Structure 1
Amino acid sequence: MQHLLAKVAKGQKTSKDLTWEEAKQAMRLMIEGTATPAQIGAFLTAMRFKSESVTELAAFTATARQYVPPVPVRSGLGVVDVPVYAGKRETFHAILPAAIVAAAAGAVLLLHGVDGPPDRLGISSVLKLLGIPVDMTAKSVGAELEKKGFAYLDLALYHPPVSRFLEMRQELGVRNFFHPVARMLNPARATSQVIGLSHPPYFEKTIEALRMLSCPRALVIRGVEGDPELSIGNSTRLLELKDERITPFTFQPKDAGLSMATFREMAGFPVEQREREADLIKRLLANEIQGGQRDWVLLNAAMLLYAAGKGTSITGNLGAARSALESGLAKAKLAELVAVAGSSAGHAPKVGISA
């Protein structure tokens, strides 16, 4: 680790990027606990100052994937990978009801994340209030995807080392490269990934790293508060990867025939009022709410359906999303997700780590 540290921490003008093999070695040393806590902290900080290369991000992700088996899913199921790690301060989790609407319309979606930091409302706490399980093993998640088209995987149970390194943001005071790595981890090895980011330096790098990892299809979104959400109150920048080709574009609500919403219609709730968000989502899925909140959910459900290979555009899937909501299928899907046998939940086996 000393050799790798020396290479990346020499200074602004003399630091060098790691090769593919060196980056893999660094990740192995950290995950296996061979590197000391001091070395890990120094390495993460040095990489933060140097800025990770595309090759480094791809190699870190490829190596992290090797330490846990993928979520078992049938080939051809068409899973869409949806990482939800950001947590919310200002807005509600539109991606959650959007994913349930999209699942009701035929998409298969795996959401994965961690409990949010103390000052942000994490999606898992809202899922718990809705009655959707958040502690399933990878095997159970695979069965849930096959049967219901929607599941949530807790990274702390699935890949404890990566989860632990995410928590180091609280210790170091700054984010580290495990944040994009967790988003690219793709536990089910889905053929389509939808990744939201707020930190500008990772925007182009993430889509390039996904291409290097041979991802068949992906949308990388400058999402609302870092979640994979199109905004209903502003334009959204996206990068699309399809057949090894990267295409940038900007999406506006008017592109889908929707009115621009105000921030008030996107607003969320304080952490201590998370029950209010769960209630809002229930009412949205029951089609009891009209206006900007509903439009925001429908817009992102259409985006997820597009990522699932339905139709040829985001706008073209808006009708299917609206139909799933108005017909009662979305409300029924929520009820189906809540009805989980007690034996299906459990803890995934943990990977040891000493740092």
Structure 2
Amino acid sequence: MSQAFRDLLKKVGSGQHTSEVLTRQEAAEAAQLMLSGEATPAQIGAFMIAHRIKRPKSIELAGFLDAYAQLGPTLQPITADYPALVFGLPYDGRSRTAPAQPLVSLMLAASGCPVVLHGGNRMPTKYGLPLVDIWQAIGIDWTDLPLTAIQAIFEETHLGYLHLPDHFSAAQSLVPYREEIGKRPPQATLELMWCPYAGDCQVIVGYVHPPTEGLAQGTLSAIGVPNFTTVKGLEGSSDLPRARAAIIGIHTPSGIERLVLHARDYDLGTQSETPLETEAEYLSTLRDTLNGKPTHLQAIALWNGGFYLWHSGITPSLSEGIAAARELLQGDRLTQHIQVIQQAIAQHRSA
């Protein structure tokens, strides 16, 4: 048993009226003790559920991210025409709506904007479709690659994916607790804000519940991330909805710009979101979309791709971003870029 962790657990788990907010330093120590395995399983599980009930504060999440920065992987800066976009997505995937994110990442990377993604395998408690499975279905396997290979692939292709089991085994060791406690722990919120890139970038934080946006603002400001964007997206992802208003917060050192966008204003609206009917059907349709065939995924690709092409600075307006996304889907640049990524992975896997 860790006596130091026991003292931290007492602070967060002593009840509604007597529990205390950890300082940033204490939160960092708690995360380090969990990630290192010095805290016992009983202590870790108790901390996760107690902290979930108490609700984490921004200063505590900042401390957790300090531990991630110290113990976790970080991609080093690369030369590019645009700041990188680091997407924070729920690790437990999607189960109700069709993801647009892989199409968005390919559009950005093929256009010269670096993209950093991170996640794990199928994960409790939702067990939704994870990013790594989607990439594998289109012929890009990010697993079983060392961090040095990911860095080189990122430099060559402007796309990098950090896979929790391969690149952050300490964080992966905490995943089973999600199933055992039956709830998402505060670490699930942390993952939306984690920035494992040391260069000029903008963090994209997806969320469902409005308080999460406030947590992100306080947390990222505390750790010195100057530019980040919050998106009230589909299933907590960065995917913009089409059936309702897309609510976006652009956070810079000079303040917050609030965008409320409607897909219907660009002839891309719908009465309901594109469903994830079956994973096999979605993956097959995704491949058809990449090969230029007309599919029901085109509209979400145009809406999301258009927004992020504009937001990254590649196009000067949203309308032009949508036009650029349409051109990318109709041409062969995305399939060509997939081949470039495949070749880079093959080269560094065999090195």
**TM-score, normalised by the number of residues in structure 2:** 0.88
Does structure 2 retain, via aligned residues, the 8 Å contact 1:44–1:177? yes
Q: Which amino acid aligns with 1:203?
A: E
Q: Indicate the SS of the match to 2:297.
A: helix
- 1:126 equivalent to 2:134? Answer yes
Cα offset for 1:67? 0.7
2:333 aligns with: 329
Distance 1:316 1:56 in 2: 41
1:38 aligns with: 42
- 1:92 equivalent to 2:98? Answer yes
Matches within 5 A, 1:336-355: 336-345=340-349
Mark the runs of 5 or more structure 1 residues left unpaired by the alignment: 347-355
Does structure 1 retain, via aligned residues, the 8 Å contact 2:285–2:297? no
| Alignment CA distance shift 1:49-1:159 (3 Å) | same
| Alignment CA distance shift 1:300-1:173 (3 Å) | same
Q: Deviations over 1:220-267 (max 9, x none)?
A: 212111221101222122222122523333222134x1331243x611
Percent of pairs identical after alignment? Answer: 24
Could you say which structure has the greater relative contact order, defined with CA pairs below 8 angstroms and 6 or more residues apart? 1
1:113 aligns with: 119
2:217 aligns with: 207
CA RMSD in angstroms, aligned pairs only? 2.3
Does structure 2 retain, via aligned residues, the 8 Å contact 1:116–1:123? no
Does structure 2 retain, via aligned residues, the 8 Å contact 1:216–1:243? yes
**TM-score, normalised by the number of residues in structure 1:** 0.88
1:284 aligns with: 289
Distance 2:191 2:267 in 1: 33
Q: Deviations over 1:166-195 (max 9, x none)?
A: 442111011111112223222223511112
2:206 aligns with: 196
- 1:82 equivalent to 2:82? Answer no
Distance 1:171 1:204 in 2: 28
Cα offset for 1:99? 1.5
Mark the runs of 5 or more structure 2 residues left unpaired by the alignment: none
Distance 2:309 2:80 in 1: 16
Q: Which amino acid aligns with 1:245?
A: G
| Alignment CA distance shift 1:86-1:316 (3 Å) | farther
Cα offset for 1:14? 2.0
Structure 1 segments of 4+ aligned residues over 4 angstroms from their partners? 311-316
- 1:56 equivalent to 2:60? Answer yes
Distance 2:119 2:134 in 1: 12
Q: Deviations over 1:203-234 (max 9, x none)?
A: 22112211222213211212111221101222
Cα offset for 1:72? 2.8
Range that drifts further, 147-156 or 313-322: 313-322
